[in-house]
């Protein structure tokens, strides 16, 4: 597993320790960050939406962030910067954008569906195209993730385009059991320190997402899911399905793999529904692709073998010191032992054992090639 991924997982673990039953929301934001996609959290007041997001803002080291509570009276100046008076005299609206949304890497807009038409055009262009029209210039914005939060779903038709700009839509619900509430009430008020996330680390992780392999079999499953949803009356756009590929790759990366596997498809539960009533249909279809624990373990082992073969190819064409070879092989061997233990614990037939023995031989031969 890449060292930066390990560091990010340590950060995620610390964040989880500060909340009860909010692991899914924290993972969803992590995925949005490294996949460079927008995420929406919907839920009633008091379910820690803003607190979770603020934890991420506080964890950033040198990332430019922007936060604003939207109301029906929020003016464009409050998001995009005040207009320059000298340009107004020329009939041109050019804004002082420094420190405003157009210069942010990461933004949080609370109660985002209270946005008025005056805000929407600027928001949509920044969120989707990462551009901002400032006067006569079109500026490239550094934004990689915008988080929106709302207590309710949008009702006005003119908010549909804004709603569509969020690839991940996560409904945050109140704690479901007395035990969970008791844990929250009795937990320490001292927050766990969260390791910082730097802009350089995020940029590297975002680049790693692009290197994750998407097997043809997974693409075929995505195509099938896309059209099955359409048959059920869920209008998933071609664009949304395309954007889901980055989400799947991000999930694979956070799982310590360089290849997407079938069970990664479950991450799309928060991406493929449109209306709230669609969720059960989406979940039902996606769960048809969930593998048995042994199938999933074998898939992980085969993906690991693919990662090793890619490393062999990379090392064979690059002038790297012997130390780098041995360090990689040592770490890969340790990771393989964890995968091996998972598979072995689930094997219960001779045929399954023979299948794994053959795979293990291929993995070990590949690791030996790295050392030679």
- 8 Å CB contact between 49 and 157: no
305 exposure class (CB count in 10 Å sphere: 0-12, 13-18, 19+):
buried
Phi-psi group of 5: left, alpha or beta (phi > 0 → left; psi -120 to 50 → alpha; rest → beta): alpha
| pLDDT at residue number 186 | 84
Q: 68: number of CA atoms within 13 Å, CB side?
A: 25
How far apart, in Å, are the Cα atoms of 9 and each of 31, 151, 272, 341?
11, 29, 25, 21
pLDDT in tens, 173-223: 888 888 888 888 887 666 789 999 999 999 999 999 999 999 999 999 999
DSSP string, 305-356: HHHHHHHHHHHHTS---HHHHHHHHHHHHHHHHHHHHHHHTT--SHHHHHHH
Q: Span 276-282, mean pLDDT? A: 91
pLDDT digits (tens, 9 = 90+) for 115-167: 998 899 889 999 989 999 998 899 999 999 999 999 999 988 889 999 999 99
User: Higher-confidence residue: 274 or 319?
Assistant: 274
**pLDDT given at position 57:** 94
Q: What is the pLDDT of residue 201?
A: 94
**What phi, psi does 151 have (nearest 5°)?**
-85, -15
pLDDT digits (tens, 9 = 90+) for 32-64: 999 999 999 999 998 899 999 999 999 998 999
Name the average pLDDT for the chain: 90
| pLDDT reported for residue 181 | 84
Helix (H, G, I), strand (E, B) or coil at 348: coil
Buried residues in 59-68 as b, exposed as e (16+ CB within 10 A): bbeebeebbb
Q: What pLDDT does residue 370 have?
A: 55
Separation between Cα atoms, residue 143 and residue 103, nearest integer Å: 7
Q: Give the rounded percent of residues in the chain with a pLDDT score beyond 70.
A: 96
Encoded tokens for 282: 């989406």
């Amino acid at each position: 597993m890449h060292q930066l991924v390990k560091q990010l997982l340590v950060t995620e673990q610390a964040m989880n320790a500060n909340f009860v039953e909010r692991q899914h929301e924290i993972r969803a934001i992590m995925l949005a960050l490294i996949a460079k996609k927008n995420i929406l959290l919907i839920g009633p007041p008091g379910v820690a939406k803003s607190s979770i997001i603020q934890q991420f803002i506080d964890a950033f080291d040198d990332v430019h962030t922007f936060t604003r509570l939207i109301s029906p009276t929020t003016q464009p100046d409050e998001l995009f910067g005040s207009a320059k008076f000298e340009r107004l005299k020329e009939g041109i609206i050019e804004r002082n954008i420094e420190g405003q949304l157009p210069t942010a890497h990461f933004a949080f807009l609370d109660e985002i569906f209270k946005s008025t038409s005056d805000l929407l055009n600027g928001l949509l262009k920044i969120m989707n195209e990462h551009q901002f029209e400032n006067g006569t210039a079109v500026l490239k914005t550094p934004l990689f993730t915008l988080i929106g939060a709302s207590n309710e779903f949008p009702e006005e038709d003119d908010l549909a385009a804004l709603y569509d700009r969020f690839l991940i839509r996560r409904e945050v619900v109140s704690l479901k059991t007395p035990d969970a509430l008791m844990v929250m009430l009795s937990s320490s008020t001292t927050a766990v320190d969260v390791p910082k996330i730097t802009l350089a680390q995020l940029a590297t992780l975002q680049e790693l997402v692009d290197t994750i392999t998407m097997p043809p079999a997974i693409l075929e499953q995505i195509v099938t899911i896309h059209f099955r949803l359409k048959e059920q009356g869920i209008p998933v756009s071609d664009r949304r399905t395309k954007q889901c590929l980055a989400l799947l790759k991000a999930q694979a990366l956070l799982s310590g793999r360089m290849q997407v596997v079938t069970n990664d498809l479950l991450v799309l539960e928060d991406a493929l529904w449109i209306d709230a009533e669609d969720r059960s249909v989406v979940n039902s279809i996606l769960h048809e692709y969930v593998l048995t624990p042994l199938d999933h373990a074998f898939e992980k082992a085969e993906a690991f073998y693919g990662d090793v073969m890619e490393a062999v190819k990379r090392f064979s064409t690059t002038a790297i010191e012997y130390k780098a070879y041995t360090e990689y092989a040592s770490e890969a061997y340790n990771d393989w032992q964890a995968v091996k233990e998972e598979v072995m614990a689930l094997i219960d037939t001779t045929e399954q054992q023979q299948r794994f023995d053959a795979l293990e031989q291929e993995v070990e031969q590949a690791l030996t090639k790295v050392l030679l």
